[in-house]
Chain A
Amino acid sequence: MPEISKLAELRKLLLGMERAMGLQELSSAERDVFYAASDIAEFEEKIQTTGLMNHTLVTDISRPTFFRALKSLVEKGYLSHCSKRTRGLYVLNRRDG
């Protein structure tokens, strides 16, 4: 795992702590994308970016804001990439971290 990934993993670990302490806040766009992802995850294990973009909760969000929110949700540990090689596929993380 490269150095930058280790730093990212450390940040993810401490974001979990921040979330458990109730200190982490989500923007309205991040909340909408997260709720949309949770909705899709009820039926599908892997969440496709295209499916997420077409969800009714996020259709009003502009494309750049959507991708910023998606990136932020990954950084905050709410969503994860399915694998390093497969872009555009995400899984919802369990909320026990």
Chain B
Amino acid sequence: MADPSHSVPQLLIETLAASGVYLLAFFVTILVISPVQHSFFSEFPSRASLLFLPHGVRVLAAWLLGWRSTVALLPGILIGSVFVYGGDAFGPGQLVASTIALTVGPATFHALALAGYDIFPRPDRSPCWACVMATGVAISILNGVLINAALGSGPVDYFAFLIGDVSGLFFLMLILMFVFRSMRLRDS
């Protein structure tokens, strides 16, 4: 019997949820966090956000959905790219960057599973948040290396992206933790 969790309506729901949350995190980062950062650190040589929440969404989506996260995040990542780069979002460089951003997350989780470190969620065990966090750091490093190789950006950008991704993942998890905690305490 076909697994109902692999149906097309299920994928549509996942896409709406993952891309919706991605865009929310993206616009909070671009329209709120980045302007505040630039007003406080105007001398900082990179325009990269030092608190990039969308990386957290990419990592958590890849952990929850595996390869399906590439489809679920596609609209969100494309819309975000068009918002920043306009028509250039469909140029070869940005398309490569979007593809890397979409695929490195699930590829890393699957590669770890093949190597014997399967940390994908399963109902019969407790998920390891520190493992997901560490994998998120590895995904950021791989993203940075591949995107910098593809677009040829400098080392300052590379480290700025790394700091932004890691802090973004940690703070997104922290925000979600407090949201779920407040929901639980309100219900009890």
Q: List 9 A-B pairs, minimum CB-CB distance, nearest first.
A: A9-B121, A93-B126, A13-B127, A14-B177, A17-B129, A77-B126, A16-B129, A97-B126, A97-B128
Shortest Cβ distance from A79 into B: residue: B126
Q: List 11 A-B contacts (CB under 8 A).
A: A3-B17, A6-B64, A9-B127, A13-B129, A14-B177, A15-B180, A16-B129, A17-B173, A81-B124, A82-B124, A83-B123
A9, closest chain B residue (CB): B121
6 more contacts with CB within 8 A, not counting A6-B65, A17-B177, A96-B130, are A3-B14, A5-B123, A10-B176, A14-B173, A16-B129, A20-B130
Chain A residues with Cβ under 8 A from B14's Cβ? 3
Question: Chain B: interface secondary structure?
Answer: helix
Interface residue ranges, A against B (CB under 8 Å)? 1-3, 5-6, 9-18, 20, 23, 77, 80-84, 91, 93-94, 96-97
B186: CB under 8 A from chain A? Answer: no
Our pick among A3, A14, A80 for the contact of B124 (Cβ within 8 Å) is A80
The interface residues of chain B lying within 8 Å CB-to-CB of A83 are: 123-124
Given the complex, which residues of A lie within 8 Å of B4, measured CB to CB?
Answer: 2
**Which parts of B1-60 form the interface with A (CB within 8 Å)?**
4-5, 10, 13-14, 17, 60
Tell me, rounded to whole Å, the shortest Cβ–Cβ distance linking B25 to chain A: 15
Minimum CB–CB distance for A67 against chain B, Å:
15
A97 and B5 contact, CB distance less than 8 A: no
**Cα of A5 to Cα of B173 in the assembled complex, Å:** 18
Query: In whole angstroms, how far apart are the Cα atoms of A6 and B123 in the complex?
Result: 10
Q: In the complex, what distance in Å separates the CA atom of A41 from the CA atom of B2? A: 36
Q: Counting chain A CB atoms within 10 Å of each CB, which of B125, B126, B177 scores highest? A: B126
